[in-house]
């Protein structure tokens, strides 16, 4: 898209997006609203356009903007006392995004604008999360991020071991991916909290660990059968979220499998949600004491990595020596322990052409069913017969 007017319009849209968010929270101490942000972003695009003929235009425009922002900040600080820098920093980012939109890639500029606006809009939730996260959880997160983004680039990206199924770089990348999904749910659980209702607990808990949700709900039913309806609702919804999570993992790792795996995952997940909503007639504000370990700590990451490697090897061996039936049996057994590892393993093998897409989809489906049956057993053993 080389037509400059389109890029200028996109720059204006970026400024408007960020400006709308600032306008909603504008105070007397704020120096910029939607119109100012639109003009700042447009100025970035104009200066980037003119810098081809006049190289000093862009740095001069940026310096001028910084001087204006600094002057505004000094005046408001003098009048109002200590004020934040969020709006001022956002204005500079809007200028740079406008320039990026014109001189490099407007799609990247739009993506970054959405991310920045989300950060600005989610201020309250971010602060709530920071207050709720413990020092241990923060340290675990930092350690995992260091290992993920420092060690990952250093790992060899080449097939190793029997049949070349082990690729250290790809294996650790899958560990980071699965832990990232779990961490997103973990953060949501921290921010929203279990007191927001069992519906939210079931949906979010299913992203982290549906087994943990089922275990906690079974315990609550054993304590009081009056909580049967809402507890079953949360457990069923969490288990249904597992199927959607598996579908998402396949979509990211091997999209060619979607045509095979989507129908059974959507049917099972949808049926679970439908059954779960039958229990919404008995809502409850009860809190759920679901104990979930931080998925970004080193221990669960290493356990998943080892489990992923083991299932990858077992699946390949079963496919070679026992054929399709052997692979399906291996998937059923593996699903008892963890559906993520078998889902990722079979998606990787199917992507490499080691097994057919149909076989991989059937095995992943069987693993999901196997894991659901195990959770049913947990509910029966730790809860009551009525929970069935």
pLDDT for 320-335, tens place per residue?
777 788 888 888 888 8
| Span of 3-17, 64-78, 302-316, 374-388 with lowest mean pLDDT | 374-388
Low-confidence winner among 1-5, 31-35, 320-324 (lowest mean pLDDT)? 1-5
Q: How confident is the model at residue 2 (pLDDT cuts 50, 70, 90)?
A: low
pLDDT band at 225 (very low <50, low <70, confident <90, very high): low
Q: What is the pLDDT of residue 94?
A: 92
Phi, psi for residue 160 in degrees, rounded to 5: -140, 170
Q: What is the DSSP string of 241-299?
A: HHHHHHHHHHHHH-GGGHHHHHHHHHHHHHHHHHHHHTTTTS------------TTSHH
Report the 10 Å Cβ neighbour count for 183.
18
Average pLDDT, the chain: 78
Cβ–Cβ contacts within 10 Å for residue 35, how many?
Answer: 12
Does 220 or 38 have the greater pLDDT score? 38
Question: Which pTM was predicted?
Answer: 0.65
């Amino acid at each position: 898209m080389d037509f400059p007017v389109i890029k200028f319009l996109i720059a204006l849209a970026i400024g408007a997006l960020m400006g709308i968010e600032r306008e909603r929270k504008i105070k007397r101490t704020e120096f910029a609203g939607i119109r100012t942000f639109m003009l700042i972003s447009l100025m970035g695009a104009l200066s980037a356009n003119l810098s081809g003929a006049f190289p000093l235009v862009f740095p001069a425009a940026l310096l001028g903007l910084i001087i204006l922002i600094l002057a505004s900040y000094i005046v408001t600080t003098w009048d109002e006392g200590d004020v934040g820098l969020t709006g001022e920093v956002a204005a500079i980012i809007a200028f740079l995004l406008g320039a990026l939109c014109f001189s490099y890639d407007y799609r990247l500029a739009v993506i970054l604008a959405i991310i920045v606006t989300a950060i600005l809009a989610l201020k309250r939730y971010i602060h709530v999360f920071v207050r709720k996260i413990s020092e241990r959880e923060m340290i675990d997160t930092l350690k995992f991020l260091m290992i993920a983004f420092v060690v990952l680039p250093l790992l060899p990206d080449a097939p190793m071991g029997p049949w070349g199924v082990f690729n250290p770089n790809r294996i650790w990348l899958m560990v980071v991916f699965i832990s990232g999904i779990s961490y997103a749910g973990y953060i949501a659980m921290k921010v929203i909290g279990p007191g927001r209702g069992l519906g939210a607990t079931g949906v979010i808990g299913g992203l982290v660990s549906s087994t943990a949700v089922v275990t906690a709900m079974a315990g609550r039913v054993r304590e009081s059968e009056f909580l049967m309806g809402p507890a079953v609702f949360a457990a069923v919804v969490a288990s249904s979220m597992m199927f959607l999570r598996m579908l998402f993992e396949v979509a990211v790792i091997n999209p060619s499998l979607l045509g095979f795996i989507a129908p059974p995952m959507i049917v099972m997940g949808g049926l679970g949600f439908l059954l779960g909503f039958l229990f919404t007639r008995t809502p409850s504000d009860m809190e759920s004491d679901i104990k979930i370990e931080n998925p970004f700590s080193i221990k669960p990451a290493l356990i998943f990595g080892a489990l992923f490697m083991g299932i990858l090897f077992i699946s390949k061996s079963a496919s070679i020596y026992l054929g399709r039936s052997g692979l399906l049996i291996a998937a059923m057994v593996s699903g008892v322990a963890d559906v993520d590892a078998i889902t990722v393993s079979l998606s990787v093998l199917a992507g490499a052409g080691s097994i057919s897409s149909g076989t991989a989809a059937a095995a992943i489906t069987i693993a999901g069913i196997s894991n659901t049956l195990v959770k049913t057993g947990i509910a029966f053993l730790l809860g009551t017969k009525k929970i069935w």
